[in-house]
Chain A
């Protein structure tokens, strides 16, 4: 299909400026970026959220999402100027020569149609292929994407396949027209690490096989290192640095890029204690009537230490948190707090018991009432548990704000006026206000950028040192576990697979699942994926 030479310039963006509309006026969100992509080349765009990665990615198609406009510069794709081209002509390019793969495949598929009908739709509609040809081609692509049972999987509905399979089907769909450029917008961010490996591998193979150029957008450096030939670092709509992948990994030149690298550098020495603050003994729990989601769980949390619960989604990590907090009464076993059994249900617990166990949520946005000010949010537990009022309460709120490295000026702000990291800090302050002994952190950093994550993790460690709280840290991110935990509990399908001290878990030998989980964590080495796949194939 692709008779043009590999290495020819495919897309050339020059001094592109894009405006976004907010607060009743236009702001520059992309401030003059140059980007060149050659045929068959994969370029990685990285940066924190709000850096303009997605906006730039979409601009490469000549598309500005609602609320944005392409202001100036030039976008030349295959010697056509997209900047000035009317929408009607650009539509002809989209889906045929340029394709887009979105972050959430589940939201991009129509749940009412079979996968294969959606995959073949554009080809048939444009009259390029007959139905038989299109279906045969789709099956070919499913095979190229290494989907299991490629011959029949297309005849399933979106809800009948897993998230990783759906993401691959989405890529297959983008490939139907053998586009010359594919834009991947955070395609693996929503996937578990174990699934991510398979999806990355199949995407990389497909791109290489069809000699497609690609823009790969992500905030995960290790992932982009596997995919991209060249990496461009964006911040505040400007290019910070652009270089070959190997060169950039070895020798980042810009300060900001270096700071991205340093994120994974928190180290904590694991220690333990025999003084257990929380013991979960042989707990089973179920959401419906008979189907247990937790089977005979036995874990304990030492005082002033951090226990990380690790596992993929659906492994029962969060369910343990619900049992400990009393939101989901266990149907067998008991939970001991400071040696005393806790009533199973929330309604049976005393205010004192509630006060000592606090929870921090994954989504700080939904964990704070958008109509309450920061002062009210932090002040409520002070008033409720400690009976503080008036000036005493205000002083304590400001103390807490300082503890989380913010200041008085936040007192009257609403959550909507805070950044993601600040919101999560306020949630931490709210938990601290109750003067708890145990804090359950449910994926507290997974919705945040890496740099912000680092700040939050450092803060949590500091607070543990200063105040002596214990943490249960629920996460699927191994890098976070490495950074913060003393003990680790690995979970799969509602059972504990392995538990022990951090160093023990991280050093071999591992049970099969732990091995799979640990080896799936992307490393900052461009050859990591290739070598992992080779090892798995032979091993």
Chain B
């Protein structure tokens, strides 16, 4: 309190509120308090992002350049050796980051666009439309998604486009569920009613009144869904219906070099080769989860015991 008066004055309270920090200052403060796991995760994600963006500059050879002799071990020219048709493995890993992460990211974004808009509409509308959408989603969720994806991919053919679309639709069911559940709590608030009373359009209410209030759980879910999509695509590629050669991708690389594991007892380095793309997948998934965990903890408002 700047001064104590005995009658209430609203502007007298001004002094009691601490100075408002800018958005940037506030994010920096939170960032500084992040636990080491989250910092580790963020650094790894940053490195992956940089590698994907600058892949052509970083890679020592061309993506599908197969002019070298096959199955070379680790050596000076090919730091991580070459694969079964003589492509440089380091190069394939770098380009693989770009393709695998890029496709997973596009798929996740698409699934969020679909799931979030339908979920919001269902939550606001609450009539037969909500029922129809929710039951449709129940049906989709009842079928194991990997098997469903395999089936759809064999119907539509495994091009990158159909891979993205199919995975996005299947994954949007979870996003729909979450969005509908969290926005249900926001839709009943007076400010949404106030906006409706003002005569606002549905799209404005969705975008300006509801969306900002359900961001935190959705962002956290985005990280998790990204991991799942990433793993699902890697799995589909491993099964041969995902990303098609010669495009480099980590799932396919694991499959193509899986046979090398049996030589591990003769040459440990050879045996490690198929594990490299798998390790890339694992590291990214773990890192994203670290960051998401921290973010969830922040937004859930749970205080650590003092």
Chain B interface size, under 10 / 10 to 19 / 20 to 34 / 35 or more: 20 to 34
Task: Give a binary string over A379-399; 1 marks a CB under 8 Å from any B CB, 0 the rest.
Answer: 011001100000000000000
Residues of A within 8 A of B283 (CB): none
Select from chain A the residue with minimum beta-carbon distance to B188: A366
B196 near A: Cβ within 8 Å?
A: yes
Are the C-beta atoms of B10 and A406 separated by less than 8 Å?
A: yes
Give the top 8 A-B pairs by smallest Cβ distance, nearest first: A371-B212, A367-B190, A255-B6, A451-B8, A354-B199, A366-B190, A369-B191, A361-B190
Select from chain A the residue with minimum beta-carbon distance to B1: A236
Interface size for A (C-beta < 8 A) is: 51
A452 near B: Cβ within 8 Å?
A: yes
Separation of A51 and B121 alpha carbons in the complex (Å)? 44
Rounded to whole Å, the gap between the CB of B282 and the closest CB of chain A is: 36
Of B9, B20, B197, B303, the contact of A327 (CB 8 Å cutoff): B197
Whether A419 touches B13, Cβ cut-off 8 Å, given contacts A361-B190, A452-B8, is: yes
Task: Give a binary string over A402-418; 1 marks a CB under 8 Å from any B CB, 0 the rest.
Answer: 00111101101100011
5 more contacts with CB within 8 A, not counting A236-B1, A255-B6, are A259-B6, A349-B199, A369-B212, A404-B10, A419-B10
Are the C-beta atoms of B11 and A346 separated by less than 8 Å?
A: no
A500 near B: Cβ within 8 Å?
A: no
Separation of A299 and B278 alpha carbons in the complex (Å)? 75
Residues of B within 8 A of A434 (CB): 198
Separation of A434 and B194 alpha carbons in the complex (Å)? 12
Are the C-beta atoms of A425 and B10 separated by less than 8 Å?
A: yes
Task: Give a binary string over B43-72; 1 marks a CB under 8 Å from any A CB, 0 the rest.
Answer: 000000000000000000000000000000
Whether A370 touches B213, Cβ cut-off 8 Å, given contacts A384-B199, A384-B200, A421-B10, is: yes
Of A259, A325, A406, the contact of B7 (CB 8 Å cutoff): A259
Which residues of chain B from 188 to 239 have any CB-CB distance to chain A below 8 Å in the complex?
189-191, 193-194, 196-200, 208-209, 212-213
Select from chain B the residue with minimum beta-carbon distance to A376: B208
Separation of A302 and B62 alpha carbons in the complex (Å)? 83
Select from chain B the residue with minimum beta-carbon distance to A255: B6
Select from chain A the residue with minimum beta-carbon distance to B213: A371
Are the C-beta atoms of A384 and B198 separated by less than 8 Å?
A: yes
Are the C-beta atoms of A21 and B13 separated by less than 8 Å?
A: no
Which residues of chain A from 440 to 454 have any CB-CB distance to chain B below 8 Å in the complex?
451-452, 454
Residues of B within 8 A of A339 (CB): none
Select from chain B the residue with minimum beta-carbon distance to A369: B191
A210 near B: Cβ within 8 Å?
A: no
B306 near A: Cβ within 8 Å?
A: yes
Residues of B within 8 A of A410 (CB): 14
Are the C-beta atoms of A359 and B11 separated by less than 8 Å?
A: no
Of A351, A413, A430, A455, the contact of B199 (CB 8 Å cutoff): A351
Are the C-beta atoms of A454 and B8 separated by less than 8 Å?
A: yes
Task: Give a binary string over A338-382; 1 marks a CB under 8 Å from any B CB, 0 the rest.
Answer: 000000001001010011001101010011111110000000110
Are the C-beta atoms of A346 and B197 separated by less than 8 Å?
A: yes
Residues of A within 8 A of B189 (CB): 366
Are the C-beta atoms of A354 and B198 separated by less than 8 Å?
A: yes
Are the C-beta atoms of A354 and B194 separated by less than 8 Å?
A: no
Rounded to whole Å, the gap between the CB of B4 and the closest CB of chain A is: 8
Are the C-beta atoms of B197 and A325 separated by less than 8 Å?
A: yes
Residues of B within 8 A of A359 (CB): 194, 197
Separation of A23 and B303 alpha carbons in the complex (Å)? 12
Select from chain B the residue with minimum beta-carbon distance to A424: B10
Which residues of chain B from 102 to 129 have any CB-CB distance to chain A below 8 Å in the complex?
none
Are the C-beta atoms of B194 and A405 separated by less than 8 Å?
A: no
Which residues of chain B from 267 to 306 have any CB-CB distance to chain A below 8 Å in the complex?
303, 306
Task: Give a binary string over B81-98; 1 marks a CB under 8 Å from any A CB, 0 the rest.
Answer: 000000000000000000
Of A256, A367, A385, the contact of B6 (CB 8 Å cutoff): A256
Rounded to whole Å, the gap between the CB of B198 and the closest CB of chain A is: 6
B17 near A: Cβ within 8 Å?
A: yes
Residues of B within 8 A of A455 (CB): 8-10
Are the C-beta atoms of B197 and A422 separated by less than 8 Å?
A: no
Separation of A259 and B6 alpha carbons in the complex (Å)? 7
Separation of A120 and B256 alpha carbons in the complex (Å)? 72
Could you list 6 A-B pairs, sorted by A, with CB under 8 Å? A259-B7, A325-B197, A327-B193, A421-B8, A421-B13, A454-B8
Are the C-beta atoms of B197 and A406 separated by less than 8 Å?
A: no
Are the C-beta atoms of B198 and A368 separated by less than 8 Å?
A: no
Whether A451 touches B20, Cβ cut-off 8 Å, given contacts A363-B190, A367-B191, is: no
Separation of A465 and B73 alpha carbons in the complex (Å)? 90
Task: Give a binary string over A196-220; 1 marks a CB under 8 Å from any B CB, 0 the rest.
Answer: 0000000000000000000000000
Rounded to whole Å, the gap between the CB of A240 and the closest CB of chain B is: 10
Are the C-beta atoms of A354 and B197 separated by less than 8 Å?
A: yes
